[in-house]
Amino acid sequence: MATLLELTSQGDVGTMSDESKLANFKLMDPQQLYELWERQPWSAHAIDLEGDKREWETSVTELEKEQLAYNLSAFFIGEERVATQFSGLVRSYESQGEEAFLTTQQVDEVRHAQFFNRFYAEVLQRDGSFEERLVQAREDVNEAFIQLFDVELVNAQENLLQNPGDIEAKVDFVVMYHMVIEGTLALTGQHFMQEFLESKGFMKGLLEGYQRISQDEHRHVAYGTWFLKEKAGQDPAFKRRISTKLMELMPLAQGVLVPPGVDDPYDYELLGYHSSETNQFAFNALSRRLKVIGVPLGDAADVAA
């Protein structure tokens, strides 16, 4: 079964006409993304979870509950982590529009964590405080997840906090956060979770939460794509840095996608989807964004060789 790294090493499968179109693709800038944020408000505490509470007890099988635990816990912990590890990027703003948008993104991440805390408290009936529920959720995630969110992400923010004007550190952070954590992992998980919930026809509150969160994440990833395209266009050294950082993180990202307890990390199913489906979806999403940025995955594979 192909891993994310092996898919990357196959290179860019797009046609030249596709590349030409993508190279000229007009991205929204941070000011426009901020204005879009104003037009897309929602509340983590307004979504109705009463039906979800009943259906969790009556309609969700024990196997589904076990498999949902990893996805839910990964998002719950991940949203809290990215909310607390984002201030360094906010401080690194280079324009007032960028400052405005980045502050909205940090608010979004807090809102996402609030939604999952509500779901854990009201639907899963987890007693205790927000912090205690996070500790419980950590029992469901794997070592690769902890390494990415508690070590790599924390270190990337520390580098920015020490020197907000360090553009190389900012590029590294955006690659990790917007391209890998959000653009590759989060949007992939959200896509398959939404498909699963829609196919089952239950837990409409959870589905709405994922839809709202996905809407926010697409705005965030749009910022990251804009930023990296700007830097890649300014200096070929940034293109190489983007590629190098991606290839460094790919094996770790692959590990994050694997639920704990599976026998073969390259051959498993989660909620009815085979690992090859999730890997391919994640690869395609990353590939499209890198084409827009101007750093095809084939270049990233050359760096890794």
Residue at 26 is within a domain: no
- For residue 270, the number of C-alpha atoms closer than 13 Å in the C-beta half-sphere is 28
- Let me know if residue 163 belongs to a domain: yes
What pTM does this model have?
Answer: 0.90
**pLDDT of 69:** 86
Q: Give a yes or no: residue 124 inside a domain.
A: yes
Which pair of structure tokens corresponds to residue 185? 């992992």
Q: Which amino acid is at 17?
A: S
Per-residue pLDDT at 25: 59
CATH of the domain at 290: 1.10.620.20
User: What are the backbone dihedrals phi and psi of residue 273, each rounded to the nearest 5 degrees, phi first?
Assistant: -110, 130
Q: What pLDDT, on a 0 to 100 scale, did the predictor assign at position 70?
A: 87
CB atoms inside a 10 Å sphere around CB 13: 12
Tell whether 145 is covered by a domain: yes
Examine residue 175 and state whether it is found in any structural domain, yes or no: yes
- pLDDT value at 108 more than 70: yes
Question: Is pLDDT of 13 > 60?
Answer: no
Contact 152, 176 (CB under 8 A): yes
Q: State the greatest distance between any 2 C-alpha atoms of the chain, in Å, as a whole number.
A: 57
Is residue 118 included in any domain, yes or no? Answer: yes
Could you tell me the pLDDT band of residue 300, with boundaries at 50, 70 and 90?
very low
Kind of pairing between the strands at 273-274 and 269-270:
antiparallel
- Token digits of residue 167: 């553009």
pLDDT reported for residue 34: 98
| Res 12 pLDDT > 50 | no
CB 221, CB 286: distance < 8 Å: no
What is the Cα–Cα distance from 232 to 290, expressed in whole angstroms? Answer: 10
Q: Which letter, b or e, does each residue of 168-199 get, where b requires 16 or more Cβ atoms within 10 Å of its Cβ?
A: ebbbbbbbbbbbbbbbbbbbbbbbbbbebbee
Whole-number Å distance between alpha carbons of 69 and 64: 8
Count of the separate structural domains present in the chain: 1
Q: Which residue has the higher pLDDT, 216 or 1?
A: 216
Q: Report d(CA 290, CA 22) in Å as an integer.
A: 9
Domain assignment present for residue 27? The answer is no
User: Per-residue pLDDT tens for 53-103?
Assistant: 999 999 999 999 988 988 999 999 999 999 999 999 999 999 999 999 999
Residues 6+ apart with CB under 8 A from 132: none
> What is the rounded CA–CA span in Å between residue 11 and residue 34?
34
d(Cα 290, Cα 10) in Å, to the nearest integer? 15
What mean pLDDT is reported for the chain?
Answer: 90
Q: Containing domain of residue 172, as a range?
A: 4-10+33-304
What type of residue sits at position 110? Answer: V
Phi first, then psi: give them for residue 261, nearest 5 degrees.
90, -5
> Average pLDDT for residues 147-172, to the nearest whole number?
97
Phi, psi dihedral angles at 25 (to 5 degrees): -65, 130
Contact assessment for residue 33 and residue 222, using Cβ atoms and an 8 Å cutoff: yes
Whether 133 maps to a domain, the answer reads: yes
